[in-house]
Structure 1
Amino acid sequence: MLLIHTHEEMADASAVLEDSEVQVLLKAQVERLAAYTDFDLSELAMFAIIQPHDTLEAIEAVLNRPLLDEAGSFIQPVEIIARQGGWYEVTFILSDDGYGMVLYVPIDSATEPRLLTACERAFAAVAHDSET
Structure 2
Amino acid sequence: DEGKDPQWLIKSWQKWLRNLMVLKMGGEDLTFLSSVERKEAKSQASHFSLKEIVRFIDLLSKTRQSMVLSSQPQIHLELLMVELSSDFEMDNLALREPELAKIYQRILKLEEKLTAKSSSSMTQEKKEPKHNGE
- TM-score normalised by the shorter chain: which range applies? under 0.3
Larger Rg belongs to: 2
More strand by share: 1
Higher relative contact order (CA 8 A, sep 6+): 1
Write 1 or 2 for the structure with the bigger share of helix: 2
